[in-house]
Amino acid sequence: MTSRRLTDVMLRLASHLVLIAGACVMVMPFVWMLVTSVRPPHEIFEGSLWPWPNTFYGLGHYKAALQNVPMLTFMVNGVLICCGILTVQVLVAVPAAYALAKLKFFGRDALWLGVLAALSIPIQVTALPLYIGLAFTGALNSYFAIMLPFFLSVFAIFLLRQAFKTFPDDIIHAARLDGMPELEIIWRVVTPSFKSTLAAFAVFSVVAHWNDLYWPMIVISETRLAPPPLGMMFFATAESGSDYGALMAGATLLTMPMVFVFLLARRRFIEGLTMSSK
């Protein structure tokens, strides 16, 4: 019994060591970014493996990042774009997921297979026809051009459909007997029970579109409309040159909001993923 307990302890210790090593690998680039943002310029390329700077540079790089480019504008653009995309995604995905989970109609299984198939189609496949359509209508260089390809999220439909399948049918039938219309059942009865799933999807959506560079780089050429990643690209090529300390300071400023969003929503994020996997 003692030998078995020792084996269990060793296996648990080994698994924790592997997890800690993986966490260090994932966190190290962010730690290095943060440390570089407070290093003086002459220490950045010294090649020292010591993580903390010999001379603390303070907020010098952060001041340069905020003065050289409209960093706050990039962040405001990111908030507007993420909120706009998330709002339309939820308004579209919730009724679609409810229909696939709880309504019986001809072609429902075929539509569900279409949703599953659409999950495997990357945005690069549809980028060219979308760009041609936006250019033809004169909608390039606008918030709408950035948000349009993401208004319909098949991942949101998939995630919410899996969650809605667990909702008791008896409650829906009772609401129908009370005279509630179907849309009211969706938004007032079913959806409030899955706030954790919506929070989990919101984290996925906000992080993905806050960090998206590919599509904004195609449809946006004006600095005033740039979201955070594209703004950092403009910063790197046009403003800062080889000022990597200021670049790291800017990257830190643009990364912090996503860290806070995840920390605030982490509990509901985990609950939502667990609920959707049942």
- H/E run at residue 15: helix 2-36
Q: Which amino acid belongs to residue 221?
A: S
* Domain assignment present for 134: yes
According to DSSP, residue 64 is labeled H
How many structural domains comprise the chain?
1
| CATH classification at residue 143 | 1.10.3720.10
Q: Please give the chain's pLDDT, 278 residues, in tens.
A: 567 777 788 888 888 899 999 988 888 888 888 888 888 877 777 766 666 777 777 677 888 888 777 888 898 999 999 999 999 999 999 999 999 999 888 888 899 999 888 888 888 888 889 999 999 998 899 999 999 999 999 999 998 998 899 898 899 999 898 888 999 999 999 998 888 888 889 888 998 999 898 999 999 988 888 898 888 877 765 444 567 788 888 888 888 888 887 777 777 667 666 655 55
> Is residue 239 packed enough to be buried (19+ CB in 10 Å), middle (13-18) or exposed (0-12)?
middle
CA distances from 248 to 24, 47, 58, 160, 223 (A): 19, 17, 13, 37, 19
* Domain assignment present for 223: yes
Q: Which residue range forms the structural domain that includes residue 96?
A: 60-276
* Domain assignment present for 132: yes
